[in-house]
Amino acid sequence: MLYDSVHQFEPLLPSDAAQSPLLSQAHDLARSALLLAGSAVPGELRCLLRSMTSYYSNRIEGQHTRPFEIEQALRRDFSANRELAARQRLAVAHIETEAVLESRYTGADGVRRLYSLDAVQDIHRELFNRLPTEDLNPDAGPVIAPGILRTREVSVGHHIAPAWQAVPTFLTRWAEVYGNTRRGEAALLALAAAHQRLGWIHPFVDGNGRVMRLHTHTLLAALGYTGGLWSPLRGFARSTDRYYALLAAADESRRGDLDGRGNLSQRALVDWIGYVLSVCQDQVAFMSGLLRLGDMERRIAACLAFEEQTLRSGVRMAALRPLHYLFVTDGALERGEFKQMTGLGERTAGSLLRALLQRGLLVSDTPQGRVRFGLPLHALRFCFPALWPEAEVDDGDTQQGGAEA
């Protein structure tokens, strides 16, 4: 079938009756997500979560990068292996793009602008303009033109995407419907459906999946639901087969007279939206549990005990009080203040502070500047167990032949 008319990708949203249970699910998600988004946490945690989201984005695409390799790439230490270096650069590009998009599209105005052809092209351009020419022109596969809509026909699995000349028309209709959805729970249904229908349009020759997921991630942030503390990409990556199966199912034609009134399956669209809402709720619940402040002091203590007793890294348990303070306040301390809070003598406290900086448990912008809570990969298994399991067995200590979890 040739898709060249916008009625061919209806329904863009399920009927009112079909939306009812989804709205109830979205209500629970919105309430718990807003509560989590208001949490005060160290900025270093948000930075680490960007790396984690980038890791999972690569994993969804089957372009695997190890957490330690992403950490190296952020220091501009790229592999000598050409293919691995390309994946590392893509991971860094995702991290940087995510930060830019979250600052560019904020609040109600950001949500409105995200539902536009310009925004879809902007996301694609922002991501792929960060890559060198050799990464955009691979030996196998199409040449990627950042921000440029496709000018040829494509198919994805069993789905034949709309005629390339009709792509702007489909995107205009996509933006009109989802951009005019009322706020609140209905907006969550809209962003889930928009994710699938954007993939159905397939605006670009390549990079559509990444654009779809960045669009959804940025929308959730603009709606105030994430606070930089969670992303559905982690959940998508941990259920990749289901993610792709439900995406493909929602591409299918209507399954008889009881399956809505549009050209495509309403039942499959409902299943897809329910899946997205469930993934988001799972991620919110998981992160809410990890951020229970009553547990943090115990977790930091476990990390310090391992450093002191097993690694003998120079880190001492005396750092617990100031480190916990920095975590719960998301603040910074003068170096003298930090040393005073340890209760140690000046010389011993100075050695401890240097060891904490060397191990990444403290970070500072300058050699003598204020210090903040740090969260290196090797501390994850203590501070945030199971947050990024792949990083727990791929941290700096393991790479250097140190102790393993």
Binding residues for ATP, as ranges, are 156-159, 206-213, 243-244
Angular region, 78: left φ>0, alpha ψ -120 to 50, beta rest: beta
| Count of residues making up the chain | 405
Distance separating alpha carbons of residues 245 and 277, to the nearest angstrom: 16
Contact 353, 362 (CB under 8 A): yes
What is the number of other CB atoms lying within 10 angstroms of the CB of residue 198? 22
Greatest extent of the chain over all pairs of C-alpha atoms, in Å: 80
Enumerate the β-bridge partners of residue 363: 372
Closest-CA residue to 88 (of 102, 108, 71, 103): 71
Which tokens belong to 352? Answer: 């401890």
What is the number of other CB atoms lying within 10 angstroms of the CB of residue 224? 16
Out of 94, 124, 195, 202, the active site residue is 202
Distance separating alpha carbons of residues 316 and 349, to the nearest angstrom: 9
- CA 399, distance to chain mean position in Å, is 25
Tell me the CB-side half-sphere exposure of residue 340, using CA atoms within 13 A. Answer: 5
Distance separating alpha carbons of residues 222 and 210, to the nearest angstrom: 18
Distance separating alpha carbons of residues 213 and 231, to the nearest angstrom: 10
Backbone angles phi, psi at 371, to 5 degrees: -110, 150
195 is catalytic: no
User: Where is the binding site, in residues?
Assistant: 156-159, 206-213, 243-244
Distance separating alpha carbons of residues 44 and 21, to the nearest angstrom: 38
Residues annotated as part of the active site:
202
